[in-house]
Structures are given as C-alpha cells and as structure tokens.
C-alpha cells in the first residue's frame, strides 16, 4: 500500500503544491507539482480569501494533473508576524525509578502548560533536551534510571484567526488542511544536512513578504522568529527610488539586482524601459544595488538580533543557510557573511529526491519540507534518517493534532 503525501506552501508570492508518495519501506517519490502566482496574502497572511483560493486551486489542479492523483488532504505551510516561538520547561517525578514513555508524556505536558492566550493555537511542540536527575543533555530518556525528569521544549503558536483563514481557503479550494506547519521548519527539513542541525545553524528563509528564521543546536530547535520584511520590500524600494511601476521594478530586481554594490562593476549600465510614453533610459546597475543594499542590511541586522536571542549565537559552527526566492539575489551570500561573520551558504530542497530541475530552487524548500515532514512522521522512517528525536516527533504530531 502506498501513502499519498501533499504539501501546500501558500506564500506571499506563489502557491506551490507538491504530491508525492511514500512506500512502506520509506521511499518517497515525487509524483507531481503545481505552482501558481498568488496575490491574496500580505506579509505571509491571507488578506484576500478569493484570490488565495484561486491560487491554491490552480496549483492543486496542476499538481493533480501532473501526478495523476486526486488530492484529499494537505499539510499547509503557515508564516507571518503573528507566529511566536517560546522556550519552556517542565519537571516531573519519575515513577518506579526508571523513565518510561508515560513520564515523557507527563513532562512534556508540564512543559507545555504555559499560559497560551485563548486566541492562539499551538502549531508545534519541539523537544530540545531532557535531564534525568543531574544528568543534562539527554535525548532519549526512556529506560534511564532516576527520580526526576526535566524537559526543555520550544513551542510555536499562531494567531487562531490567521490559521483559520488559511484553513478556510484550503477547504474552499476543495481540500482538507490536515495540519499547519510553520514554514521555516519545513524549509529546514528540505535544505539542511543533519550535521548542520547538530553543530548549530541558523536557517533564514527570505521570501516575498516575510523573512523566517529558525535556529538549531544539538539537533533541536532553539529559536524561531518571523520578520515582516522580504523581497517585495526591495521591489517597492526600487519602484520608489527610480520612479518606475512595481512590475518593472520587480523585473529589474530579478534581472540586475544585487544585494551589495561590492559585486557590481562601477561602469555597468542597465536599460530601464520607458513608461507613460517616455523613452527608455540607462541607469548604472550600481544604483540598483545602492537601493537594495540598505534594505538587505536591515533584514540581516534584524535576523542577527533574533539569532542572538537564541542564546547559541556563539556556537553556530555551521553558520547560516539562506533559502527563499530573495536568496537568489546576487551578492546575498557576501553581504550575509559580512553581517553575520560566519560562513553562509545557499540552501536548496536537496533532501527530497526526484525534484525536477525547475523546482530545485530556494523558493521550493518549504513545499518540499512539508512532504518530508509527513514522510518522517509515523513509522515510515523510524526517525533514523531525520534525527534522533524522530520517534518523539511522531508522537508529538499526535499531540499537536490534539491542539489543532
Ligand atoms: N532571481 C531572483 N533574484 C532576486 N529576487 C528574486 C529572484 N527570484 C525570486 N525573487 C524574489 O523572491 C521573492 C519570492 O520568494 P518566495 O517564493 O520564497 O516567497 P514566498 O514563499 O511566496 O513568500 P513568503 O514566504 O514571504 O510568504 C519575491 O520577492 C521575488 O521577487
Ligand atoms: Mg515562503
């Protein structure tokens, strides 16, 4: 029996639907995909239901056509500045002198019993580490002898109404939203190597409307954040800076934009099409870079502050990984290395096998990760390929479902 997996990334710029299947042996094969431009979101949240439903339907239609499968339920990516990440911890007494799975359930319950306002829903409960008596840094406490079990966890919550609007859009498009997943966690599934999560890494997903951040250390999520800035702001800056319509500014950014003027030759000129009957004009490419650079610096400086908040900023041995469409901007890596002072690489959806070449791009990491997340759940991968917390994550999905 094969198991159909569908990931739906509803982004500020586009909707991407991927359909895959997983064999009982855990082999995931991509069956089809669909991408449709989307105008229904602003800064990662739905502001126009009709436009969003239309884009979801268009992406799903294409994914159904190319896969030959009928999509019933989907795992949906969620982002936006309404998302909050917080760390919490809990302590319980161990029953019977040896930690059992019930003790783990109880300690996670204790840790998640923080006051979460009624208008927020819990998206993820991610264990960081356990301590048994005085022994800290334990990942698999079951079977250990002790009297006291402590858990540290990271909780991700979303404003209920935003989640509901996104779910409503999926339902109107004819599919059931089985689960909402915070987008950068999905991107991380697709783009990061397990060693990077172990050694410490910050993944930064610079999309159209938002920049999402997730910091890993010792295999666990230490910090998550969403910044209300993305590639669309670069486009508006260009439109205002050289007085051209947004659609033209977007084309110029993609064709000639650069995140830092360091990577642009002084004498390089580019053609700007004339609007309103005016003649086309030539501008220095450096001018575009000079408009983009301060905004990118602002985004990275804000990201840097979030990374500092993780408490592990000094031990991110694997540096920073950039994904999202805006990471394609020439010079992004150079600028990021200057600001973060650590090695920076661009990430691609490498962990999902069979991605066609046109989807092997940094803007498709979220959709690919939504598929991988489903594949790693349950017994399919035994957790082994996806980190040692695999078994726990499969259980946690059940807890999260309770909340959803
Ligand atoms: N080659 C490129 N150079 C520079 N920017 C690019 C390039 N290709 C795409 N972009 C920009 O990337 C952004 C879209 O990225 P992406 O598809 O990751 O966003 P999204 O997932 O739709 O949005 P979000 O995650 O913010 O909700 C747009 O601002 C677009 O202009
Ligand atoms: Mg995105």
| Proximal ligand: closest to the CA of 324 | 1
Rounded to 5°, angle at Cα 387 from 386 and 390? 80
Question: pLDDT at residue 180 above 50?
Answer: yes
In three-state secondary structure terms, 281 is strand
- What are the chain's domains? 84-159 (3.30.1490.110), 193-346 (3.30.420.40)
Q: What's the pLDDT at 1? A: 61
Q: Is the CB of residue 257 below 6 angstroms from any atom belonging to ligand 1?
A: yes
Which two structure tokens, joined as six digits, stand for 97? 């002198």
Contact between residue 121 and residue 158 where contact means Cβ atoms under 8 Å apart: yes
**Which is the closest atom of ligand 1 to the Cα of 206?**
18
- Using CB atoms within 10 A of its CB, is residue 180 exposed (0-12), middle (13-18) or buried (19+)? buried
Residue 115 binned pLDDT confidence (cut-offs 50, 70, 90): confident
Q: For ligand 1, say whether the CB of 211 is within 6 Å of any of its atoms.
A: no
Query: Using CA atoms, how far apart are residues 345 and 320, in angstroms rounded to an integer?
Result: 7
Minimum-distance ligand to the CA of 206? 1
Strands (E), 72-161: 73-78, 84-93, 120-132, 135-138, 148-159
Helix (H/G/I), strand (E/B), else coil: 260:
coil
Please state whether beta strands 73-78 and 176-182 pair in parallel, antiparallel, or not at all (unpaired).
parallel
Is the Cβ atom of 252 under 6 angstroms away from ligand 1? no
Tell me the CA–centroid distance for residue 386 and ligand 2, in Å.
Answer: 22
Residues in the chain: 404
Residue 206 has pLDDT above 50, yes or no: yes
pLDDT digits (tens, 9 = 90+) for 3-16: 899 999 999 999 99
Tell me the pLDDT tens digit for each residue of 281-315.
Answer: 899 999 999 999 999 999 999 999 999 999 999 99
Contact 138, 104 (CB under 8 A): no
* Mean pLDDT estimate for the chain: 91
Please state, in angstroms and rounded to a whole number, the distance separating the CA atoms of residues 277 and 288.
Answer: 23
Q: pTM, whole model, 2 decimals?
A: 0.92
Identify the CA nearest to 8 among candidates 80, 62, 85: 62
On the question of pLDDT at 249 being above 60, the answer is yes
Task: Give buried/exposed letters for 289-309 (b at 16+ CB in 10 A, else e).
Answer: bebbbebbeebbebbbebbee
Tell me what the mean pLDDT of segment 246-274 comes to: 94
Provide the 3-class DSSP secondary structure of residue 71. Answer: coil
């Amino acid at each position: 029996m094969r198991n159909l997996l569908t990931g739906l990334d509803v982004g500020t710029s586009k909707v991407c639907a991927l359909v895959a299947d997983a064999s009982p042996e855990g082999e995931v094969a991509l069956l089809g995909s669909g991408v449709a431009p989307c105008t229904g979101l602003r800064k990662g949240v739905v502001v126009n239901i009709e436009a969003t439903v239309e884009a979801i339907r268009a992406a799903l239609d294409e994914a159904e056509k190319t896969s030959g499968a009928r999509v019933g339920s989907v795992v949906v990516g969620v982002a936006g500045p309404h998302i909050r990440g917080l760390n919490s911890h809990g302590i319980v007494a161990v029953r019977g002198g040896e930690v059992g799975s019930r003790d783990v359930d109880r300690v996670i319950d204790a840790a998640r019993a923080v006051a979460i306002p009624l208008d927020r829903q819990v998206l993820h409960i991610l264990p960081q580490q356990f301590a048994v008596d005085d022994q800290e840094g334990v990942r698999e406490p079951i079977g250990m002898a002790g009297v006291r079990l402590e858990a540290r966890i990271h909780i991700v919550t979303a404003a209920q109404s935003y989640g509901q609007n996104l779910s409503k859009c999926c339902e109107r498009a004819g599919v059931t939203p089985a689960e909402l997943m915070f987008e950068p966690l999905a991107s991380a599934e697709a783009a990061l190597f397990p060693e990077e999560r172990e050694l410490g890494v910050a993944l930064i997903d610079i999309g159209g409307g938002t920049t999402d951040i997730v910091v890993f250390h010792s295999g666990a999520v230490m910090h998550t954040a969403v910044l209300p800035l993305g590639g669309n702001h670069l486009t508006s800056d260009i439109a205002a800076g050289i007085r051209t319509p947004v659609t033209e500014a977007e084309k110029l950014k993609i064709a000639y934009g650069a995140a830092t003027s360091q990577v642009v030759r002084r004498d390089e000129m580019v053609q700007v099409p004339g609007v309103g009957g005016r003649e086309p004009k030539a501008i220095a490419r450096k001018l575009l870079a000079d408009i983009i650079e301060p905004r990118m610096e602002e985004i990275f400086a804000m990201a840097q502050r979030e990374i500092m908040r993780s408490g592990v900023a000094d031990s991110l041995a694997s540096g920073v990984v950039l994904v999202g469409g805006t990471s394609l901007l020439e010079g992004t890596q150079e600028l990021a290395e200057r600001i973060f002072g650590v090695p920076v690489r661009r990430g691609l959806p490498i962990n999902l096998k069979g991605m066609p070449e046109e989807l092997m791009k940094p803007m498709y990491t979220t959709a690919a990760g939504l598929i991988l997340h489903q594949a790693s759940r349950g017994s399919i991968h035994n957790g082994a390929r996806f980190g040692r917390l695999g078994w726990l994550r499969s259980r946690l999905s059940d807890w999260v479902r309770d909340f959803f």
